[in-house]
Amino acid sequence: MDKLKAINWKTFKEALEENPALTLQFQYAENKWVDASYHITEIKQAPIVSVDCGGVMNSWTEIIVQLWEPQNEDQDRAMDVTKALSIINLVEKSLPLNPLGTVKIEFGNSQFDTRQMFPNSFIISEGNLIIDLRPDAVQCKAIERGGSCGITAAGEECCAPEKPKVELKNLAITGDVCTPGSGCC
């Protein structure tokens, strides 16, 4: 799977602000849509601090928009973008959201396990602002930096690219001796 370029909160919010007259739809898989009766139940800001397998400390912020499909609620039309913006504005009165925070949409229903997904793209079609969601993928930050990810019990790097084996020769044993001034060195 190709790694997606994460969208930050500022970019996400601007996409909504640029399209206030549209209806907000979410596509969570190919031809699978969050039901029109969805609610934005909360917006979370999660500061993440981690140490990766290569021993390097990392930190970033995630802004998680949680969607919920209520049971037995029948609705033909999804939320307008203006309604979503009013929820965002209400949240931001109490919790200033980091504009550089990575946006994830949290969603699940009885046919789709709850997970956090990245907004992959914004599509305008037939009066809708469609946010196409794609799953995140696990990565190894140490490998992505060109380093290694820890050491095995045998003292070998466990995730580093395999290094070519080098054969060492002891020239003193073969009898070839290089002395100063002999011209061999």
Reply yes or no on whether the pLDDT at 2 is more than 60. no
pLDDT digits (tens, 9 = 90+) for 20-78: 999 999 999 999 999 999 999 999 999 999 998 888 899 999 999 999 999 877 777 89
CA–CA gap between residue 103 and residue 118 (Å, rounded): 7
pLDDT digits (tens, 9 = 90+) for 78-97: 999 999 999 999 999 999 99
Segment among 104-108, 124-128, 176-180 with least mean pLDDT:
176-180
pLDDT of residue 165 exceeding 80, the answer is no
Compute how many other C-beta atoms are within 10 angstroms of the C-beta atom of residue 60: 14
pTM of the model: 0.78
**118 with 101: CB under 8 angstroms?**
no
**What 3-state DSSP class applies to 16?**
helix
Residues 6+ apart with CB under 8 A from 108: 114, 115
* Percent of all residues in the chain with a pLDDT value above 70, rounded to a whole number: 79
Q: Which residues of 9-29 are buried (b: 16+ CB within 10 A; e: fewer)?
A: beebbebbeebeebbbbbbbe
What is the predicted pLDDT for the residue at 71? 83
Backbone angles phi, psi at 72, to 5 degrees: 60, 25
> What is the rounded distance in angstroms from the CA atom of residue 57 to the CA atom of residue 39?
36
